[in-house]
A and B are shown apart, each in its own frame.
With several copies, the nearest count.
Chain A
Amino acid sequence: MKKLLPFLLALLLLVMGTAMAQLQPEPMGKIETLPEKWPAHWVLAHDVSFSRVMDGRTIVLDLDEENPARAYKGMMNNSFAAFMAQATTRPEIYFASIYYSRGTRGERIDVLEIYDKQTLSPIGEVVLEVPRAILLPQRFTMQLTRDESLVLLYNFTPAMSVSVVDPVARELRGEVPTPGCAAVFPTGERGFSSVCADGTLYTVQLDADGQPASTSRSAQFFDAGVDPLIEKAAWHAGKAWFPTFMGQLQPVDFTGDQPVIGEAWSMIDEETTGWRPGGLAPAAADADGRVYMLAHPEGREGSHRDPGMEVWVFDPDQQQRVDRYELAMPGLGVSLTRDREAPLLVVLNVEMALDVYDARTGELRKTVANFGAETPLLVYGAE
């Protein structure tokens, strides 16, 4: 500030010599804040800024706000296709960012950044000693344990492992090797599972210090050489529904200490022969456990990340499709708001805008475009 003083004094003199009428000036330094618990129809558009990936940001949007300018509630910076997760028992959001001392080069540091939901400010960080995986963003690269005592991050160096962080004590607890197994699915109160190339789940339960207490491996339940399981699952309340390349839906219950692998069934019927699931975030579930799936016709080898032309709604308990929504614009990702009353289905379309549909009817409510995001590849409903 020392350098500022002569300047401020000069300005003061300038103003005192200028003819100005009296008026109460508007206050200096007013900063907005947000509620501790965000409304159900707020979402986080996670813009990894694909072509400027070191300057990413996550934008908070109110989908109930009719004025697009006012829908933008604020933004949090993060970097290099940051991982993201929200707490529900604390007003906190976590990002795992990577920084270099010279932007795109120099010394690398990986950090877990803790943001406060009311101020959208970083309130702490934990340095990650193991380099985080770098990949196209998806949800199951970073998760909180069900008790929210630990944050789990997927590493790929190319050795595969999971870092365990205590976000309250703000300490790194350690690294758990997961050879041949990727991603993290919270399992039980304080454990996780990873999906393995051999068609199994590898499960690790952690103790109160975040150290492995037990490990186990499921029976083989899919064959990656025949019909690969897509790890980008729909998730609700500890239950996951995994699509496969060929259109099976594989339920897994992660609420207990060991995952319970359900019976897979086909999402494809005579009406939809040749269709397949696809996209960057092809699946999501609502608070009633209905599963929403992006699907495209004329599926073929390599089409598993193609945009979906429709969203199919499934009742997974009944193992049946309950609705088909034709999309206004092909979609790359789906997500749901958390409410049961009037849930919104948010579809990231191929123009990188958000198409907001009534999740119950498939009616297009609005399109949120031009809100300052380049590639908001993942959208999260506010927890």
Chain B
Amino acid sequence: MKWLDRLIEGRTRDLAQRSSRRSFLARVGTVVAGSAATLPLLPVARAQDEGSVPESGDPHSCDYWRYCATDGFLCSCCGGSASSCPPGTEMSPITWIGTCLNPVDNTNYIISYNDCCGKSACGHCMCTRNEGDRPIYRPQLNNEYNWCLGTQHQTYNCSVARVIGKAFD
């Protein structure tokens, strides 16, 4: 929630103009696939021949392409990165999933939005983009849940956006 970010960061005056915000990814995310974060189990984890994901953009910004279904504090602003947790937290093994369009290769990637847990809110870089988000009765596609499940503690610190596969379009 950008409005919440701005609120927490004390700059709210320009929110009214933003309420119909569109990111450059605005139309992405209607194709959504489920996945799991326990990746060693998964077929997608077994292939290693396609190399790395082409990148552009700033992982510290809510506009970064991977964050199309993020709802929370960006770990990249909290002592972690787009795909790693801050010191002293624990990454949740299960999570919600989104599909985001990578503008470099114009390809949809499947993103695992794991929460980092065990400390309370980072409070820095709140980011909400709900592309592909679905109601709470479809948990794997919902970012309103605190996904600190299967972790020692359920306190929520921040969220990462890990690329776990390509989606065939």
Contact = CB atoms under 8 A, between A and B. Distances in A.
Contacts of A12: 36, 38, 41-42
Contact of A104 (B37, B118, B125, B164): B118
Interface string B66-97: 00110001101111110111111111011000
A32 B86 contact: yes
B13 to A, nearest CB: 8
A332 interface: yes
A112 B45 CA distance: 42
Nearest to A377: B4
Given A25-B44, A25-B165, A135-B146, A330 B155 contact: no
A54 B120 CA distance: 8
B100 to A, nearest CB: 11
Interface string B116-140: 1011111111001111111111111
A302 B168 contact: no
B3 A31 contact: no
Contacts of B88: 31, 74-76, 115, 119-121
A106 B149 CA distance: 15
A19 B155 contact: no
Contacts of B27: 300-301
Given A20-B167, A32-B80, A74-B79, A302 B133 contact: yes
B94 A50 contact: no
Nearest to B133: A302
Most buried by A among B42, B137, B139: B137
Given A306-B20, A307-B19, A350-B19, A100 B155 contact: yes
Contact of A100 (B76, B122, B153): B153
B57 interface: no
Contacts of A133: 145
Interface in A152-196: 156-158, 160, 180-183, 194-196
Contacts of A262: none
A131 B154 CA distance: 10
Interface residues of A, number: 104
B83 A195 contact: no
A302 B124 CA distance: 22
Given A12-B36, A22-B50, A32-B81, A180 B120 contact: no
A69 interface: yes
B26 to A, nearest CB: 6
Contact of A134 (B7, B128, B145): B145
Interface in A65-87: 67, 69-70, 72-77, 80-81
B36 A158 contact: no
B15 A119 contact: no
A208 interface: no
Contacts of B110: 20
Contacts of A80: 154-155
Contacts of A53: 120-121, 155-156
Given A70-B60, A134-B154, A305-B128, A30 B91 contact: yes
Interface string B42-61: 11111111111100000010
Contacts of B86: 31-32, 74-75, 120
Contacts of B8: 50-51, 372
Contact of A11 (B21, B34, B85): B34
Contacts of B12: 350-351
Given A12-B41, A330-B19, A77 B119 contact: yes
Nearest to B10: A370
Given A26-B163, A120-B87, A134-B154, A72 B79 contact: yes
Given A21-B50, A73-B79, A105-B155, A302 B137 contact: no
Interface of A: 1, 4, 7-8, 11-12, 14-16, 18-34, 50-55, 57, 60, 67, 69-70, 72-77, 80-81, 98, 100, 103-106, 108, 115, 118-121, 131, 133-136, 138, 156-158, 160, 180-183, 194-197, 224, 228-231, 296-298, 300-307, 309, 329-330, 332, 350-352, 369-373, 375
Cβ-closest 7 pairs across A and B? A372-B123, A22-B47, A120-B88, A69-B60, A21-B166, A74-B79, A302-B131
Given A108-B153, A329-B16, 17 more contacts: A15-B44, A18-B35, A21-B165, A28-B38, A31-B84, A57-B120, A77-B120, A118-B87, A120-B79, A120-B87, A228-B138, A305-B1, A307-B3, A350-B7, A351-B7, A370-B124, A375-B4
29 contacts: A4-B93, A11-B140, A12-B38, A14-B36, A18-B35, A20-B33, A22-B44, A22-B165, A23-B53, A24-B50, A25-B163, A26-B164, A31-B85, A32-B80, A50-B121, A53-B156, A69-B74, A75-B157, A104-B118, A120-B79, A134-B156, A135-B144, A158-B149, A196-B137, A224-B137, A228-B135, A329-B16, A330-B15, A332-B3
